[in-house]
Structure 1
Amino acid sequence: MPFPGTFDVDLTGATAVVTGSTRGIGRAITQRLLASGASVIGLQRGTDSLGPGHSCRGVDLSDPAARAEVIAEVLAEHQVDILVNNAGINLRHTVEDFPLEEFSQVMNVNLDAVVQLTQAFGGPMLARGSGRIVNIASMLSFFGGVQASAYAASKGAVAQFTKSVANEWAGRGVAVNAIAPGYIATELNVVLREDTVRNDEIVSRIPAGRWGRADDIAGTALFLASEGAAYVHGAVLPVDGGYLGR
């Protein structure tokens, strides 16, 4: 599948696990990996395939036991070379009214699952002395946002977790990095983009003058999964059209 601005990366023979692989950013990352020759195993609630080379394991990523079960199944059948921790949720409340149960729910999916999958799939990578892990952080890894305290807390933690793992694993052949997407035009942001006032405020703040596309994130993920990023460790790369530099 051709992509505008595609660069050559050959991942033939590699196997990647991508959480949330059929929607939004996860779908774009999966398509890029497939186009580069990798096989992709998606972990998510649904089991729809994007075509040859892509299979899905249905799993509730909010359930630690279910995560452990599907991890064991995948590792029993595959050598996983690339892990992309993409899946995440956001529940919005003011801080004073944020139900603790919902706060914990966001932290569980956005952080705990990342830790569990990193440990489980990273172990065999360390044993082989090679592997790539790409975590999806957020602009809210850098600032707090509004009515998104749980999401900001989880994504801030993902960024720091990424750096900590890289400190321990960089010298052992496993590259661990994160991407911090800016405002990306996915189905999750339709309402925001349809609000003409808020949309204009957002675009005026982005030096590139547009919302990002899911494939903008996918290209960066492909780079981090490639040998071209062999000396990139512990980075949290903003892909935001220049938003943070404004």
Structure 2
Amino acid sequence: MEFNLDFFSVKNKVIIITGANSGLGLAYAKALGKCGAKIVVAHYDDNTKEIEEYSKENKIDLLLVKGDLTKQNDQNNLIEKTLERFSKIDVLINNAGTIIREPLLEYSEKSWNRVMDININSVWYLSQKVANIFKKQGYGKIVNVASMLSYQGGKFVPAYTASKHAVAGLTKAFANELASLNIQVNAIAPGYIETANTAPIREDKVRNAEILSRIPAGHWGKTDELMGTIVFLSSQASDYLNGAIIPVDGGWLAR
């Protein structure tokens, strides 16, 4: 097959993105929608104004589905609403996540369970459900959102670290079993990116200086610096990529 730029096209692909009404997920939704994909935003709160306005301005076919992805019924509703509207699912991007900062020796059961339920349990169950649809379709892609803490330990975020290590492991486990079904499962691992989740770190002058000193690029990443990778992972160009965790980190892991 002769190579052409259509390999990177996501035009008319139906892409579910969880937690895509803010932060990294919003950037993914904007990029993929601008490239012609039909976007399904799974959101927990009502803060959808920005993605709605952006979609209207750029003529993006957008479906908003509100729900709590830690609940099986809400996961089922997300899938049902997507299939009712578009009759297929091409890509699932598991972006929704949370982080709770507490000293390890004081970390509460409530905090642990909340982080694990959102960051890994919902990824497991939703991916399993969508993978069964992909099996019937004969194709599909799952893109998980990992982290630098899929590789490292971090401080004051034991549940987040454990969950992101689990995301990396689950990515590989899914890839091993689903590759023969023409289903690709990979992950993007953002570095230190300017989002609401990282605001407390950036506002800590000492911690911020420590982080910047280790990033070869010399600055915190912007959400739009992840857009190219997410488009690649959602496109035909990544058809032979499976089980990969791709860091987009300004060189953090190479340091």
CA distance in 1, matches of 2:7, 2:219: 26
Partner of 2:244: 235
1:191-202 residue pairs with structure 2 within 5 A? Answer: 191-202=200-211
1:64 partner amino acid: Q
1:32 and 2:31 equivalent?
Answer: yes
Partner of 2:91: 82
| 1:96-148 C-alpha deviation (Å, 9 max, x unpaired) | 21111220111110011111111111211122221111000111111111111
Structure ranking higher in helix proportion: 2
Residue identity (%): 39
Partner of 2:163: 154
| Contact 1:89 1:110 (8 Å CA) reproduced | yes
1:117 and 2:116 equivalent?
Answer: no
Partner of 1:100: 109
1:19 and 2:28 equivalent?
Answer: no
Unaligned runs of 5+ in 1: 1-6
Q: CA deviation at 1:169?
A: 0.8
| Contact 1:9 1:36 (8 Å CA) reproduced | no
Partner of 1:176: 185
CA distance in 2, matches of 1:10, 1:70: 25
RMSD in angstroms over aligned alpha carbons? 1.7
How many positions carry a matched residue from both structures?
Answer: 240
SS of residue matched to 1:238? strand
| Contact 2:7 2:235 (8 Å CA) reproduced | no
Judge which range, 207-216 or 187-196, deviates more: 187-196
SS of residue matched to 1:16? strand
| 1:151-191 C-alpha deviation (Å, 9 max, x unpaired) | 01111000000000000111211110011111001122223
TM-score computed with the length of structure 2 as normaliser = 0.89
| Contact 1:88 1:110 (8 Å CA) reproduced | yes
Unaligned runs of 5+ in 2: 1-5
Q: CA deviation at 1:8?
A: 8.3
| 1:36-67 C-alpha deviation (Å, 9 max, x unpaired) | 11010000123542413222111122333322
Partner of 2:227: 218
1:109-148 residue pairs with structure 2 within 5 A? Answer: 109-148=118-157
Partner of 1:67: 75
CA distance in 2, matches of 1:99, 1:196: 27
| Contact 2:65 2:81 (8 Å CA) reproduced | no
1:40 partner amino acid: I
SS of residue matched to 2:8? coil
1:57–1:180 Cα change, 3 Å:
same
1:219–1:143 Cα change, 3 Å:
same
CA distance in 2, matches of 1:149, 1:64: 25
| 1:58-112 C-alpha deviation (Å, 9 max, x unpaired) | 1122333322333233234331101100010011112221111220111110011
